[in-house]
Structure 1
């Protein structure tokens, strides 16, 4: 089931609301959930109409009975004071984006109620000058601040598949290096279902390389775009497969031919029914579970993830040997350039412009010699398969494989890297399976270990050397440390940063010096991504209320305290020389929890699988002390032995893991 409305769905609902809401008067507003608001309208011809707006997910008229809170929160209270008694003057969609707007006139004032349906969307009220009166959720991004008093900015304009010219369409397809369906999704602002529908109506297989289409095929795609996006609302219905609801659409789609349909008089009714099914499922899944049940679910998910990765890495190791000749020729070409004194960035630039087939195969080459290599899976005479190349570095199922290799290693050594990763995942899976058996045994006994008895004799353990810094242990077992201030940044540089280590930092000032202690071993990508999240989350970006940021990775030997001639370095500052690997748009966010007899904190991916109970934290409005007290009370609800809890996870200990600036518990 899809999780949110598409731009086609928004267009269909807006068309429906134009008919039913124009001229209606605004009544009361209610907030049913953190992201969900209902605004009532009174129409002379239709009576009371309830409009449901859910940030990032949906907007439609609802007829389902829902219990409203007795004390309305701030946002619906503001809507009542500003909009009650106002008249709806217009309803529209912004371009072909997932943004619906309701213009409301009240006396001399004019307001705009906006519902953003895209991921990380919001519900906001704007005044006549385009300023935000109040957002449902205060958020700040790199290029948009959704805060009271800020000028509202729309997202960058998206291409409209309803009005794109043939020439523009031909350019998008010709310049794409991906298959047709993915090119349509990324280049023309449409969901995957509608992209498949366009391919179906154009009589083309969705995995056709976009750049290979002929002029006649491009004409068919352009005609199919007009047909699909000209449907709007003609026959709203739910789509069912074997009795299970799989989608809700405003008009029939050929990709769903042969599946059962459940028709409705209006698209709002269909949407109301579709999402009410999801609400019911959410309520069922929200049934309180014991700590052991939550642990069991988490262990089962981890086992499946380990098993999937084990198979993936083994398959990629085999792929390296299958294409031994091609891989060896690419590695030899890069090594030859490096021996001549070229840097890896220079080698990649020369390859890009050489005009040889190898240029299309090397997708990336970083400063450490790590490369991503795309191999064509098709031998002469083979049939074309139905799979795609996985842009994340995984194994394609039919058209090709993308391999992550090191140009300094031989072909067998690169294959062995994948086999070693597979063994690591197998070892983790076996450990998780043993833990799962123990959890199941405890559940069957309907009792956990005797917490109070064993914890009553708890003695405060001696802190490790790294616990005076910010720290966490990655999913792959690597220790990562970071400074708390200029003094500890200096201490980490002077005492603990080795040449074999890796270091991360942000371009923005006010960030910790983050060090991955490698012990001379290769660091997996998962650890690098967790360390990047750590570096961004504990930087000044959090204090500024931003939800994403950039950071870079270098070798330990590239970090120095020696400034350029005539320059001066203040305390806690460093100089980085040489090439850097950037991590762009890294989401901020940390998790805190109790693992065994210790409080831990750091990147969500590294902390949550190990801790129970745990909480996720994001930038917000609470001070570190206030939030720490709330988190402590939450832990206290889960733990019977308060003396043990205070020794392990006191309020002060929790504060030490929180980033600088305001925060709140996510969700």
Structure 2
């Protein structure tokens, strides 16, 4: 049988009780691996370190793991992980619940500043949504926009439609579901009663009922036995009567075994299932008992992954580009629908605000009437009744009132067929302003969706490009009989390509001086006093490093710990190699290069040491800043700059310290201070690049002298070695 890769609803019902033992544990850190596995590192006073794994990809699971089995922490935490750290660091684990009988777990964490809920969807495509205490989505791994439900940041989390819970179903409801079926008993239990295939078969076996028995032939006695088997199963789960088992394929030749290995010798067969109690459906498998279901799950998924890692590498197959492309097209369609929805919502809110002003006198009369009544301590029910009576008498203001909600302090009015909720304590202007503000917030969400759709379109184009390249390679392989497999796997030789496709991407930081360190961190520097000012005021965040030359006349250089779109963090340790490359960048694009010198002193400080507020009696010129505290100096830092042409993942010119860009480009030319003007040297580089690439038109399109000059240090230069 195929190994189990997803937890069932019964598994989750059993897990909830065992997770309760960890209530009160404090969260230390959160990690995100890839795009589908979250790890929460916690500590408990009695148990010490606790590691919680939540995975929603091809494998769908939620359980604790032994500390020695957790994967190594990824390098740079993405935005989702930083958001979790900001919300959960120091929070108490308050418990977990299963949503009805669905494959959804809701983990609750409490901190003085509020509640955070992590909702783990272990069905379908899988998802993890993080919400506040009122279920407003802070962020999620996947956005969901369906007719039945929506899960997007900024909206209220919507659970799937309720389904029947077989563990709490009444006998009357059970009979109704069974009678309503037109298939056999086991399929009815699997679908109508939501047991799923395995546990539907288990219930039939425990009840002594033939699985394929047609519902039409099932009498009252059959119903009795099946319902009693369900009640016993539910009772075991509610009372925590578990005897967890890990199941393996049986290796013995004759297939004889009692089904329960209790002598301490583990079977060597492939693990295939793990359950909270022994199953009669698995008597043909070897089994191992465990003290807790969480321990059994930890061992099962560890051995499952271990077994898969030991399998021989499959031959390279054509990736499913069509599915990937279809996925991005579907996402774009959903995003376009969301944008249209935001536009409609914003327009509707503005129309409502304008209606308030158009019917100012009527609305003011309604609000004033309620406000006066509340001053006189009249109950909300009486106010509602007075409006109803006024409507019967044909009073216009009363006829416009649809509902009065005392619990929320609101009144709903109907103006020209448009229903509008008004806050009673506010006047007409305040209510209109609230609607305008809400419309503006929705417009901002639309802007975010527009940015997201551009990212998705880039992903779509990238998938199409990879598909075209794969197909082109397949055609080449077919035409070259007897070509060595090692040659086929060689990296594409872009310099020899007769035609290189253009894939442009203009990052937000392109107007600054910039490069990525060899460790992948972004470094940005100002081109002038205005940009220096902007970097310090707008883009400098906790965790960043600021570098500057000791000599006057250099750019503000910021080594970013996180992207501006990510939550900032001060606990990211920047590698020394990245700081040294940033220091070389700072000295190379300063007056040190202009003066023809080959080295200079650079200092580095933390972001919180930089201020735009001068000391008393001092003055900061535009682009300047003050430093508080000690500086770390990098004495005699050598200058070094290079310009190169990148072909993957985008086609563009990049520049920076040679060590940072050499592995990112197909062709690179190093520079040193010299006597040739910047523009003249740029033309020399352009000619050299054209000589190196077979596709000269490609160089002309993306690496003009002006574009090359954009990445060169100011002042005179020459090509190193000339």
* Range class of TM-score, shorter chain: 0.3 to 0.5
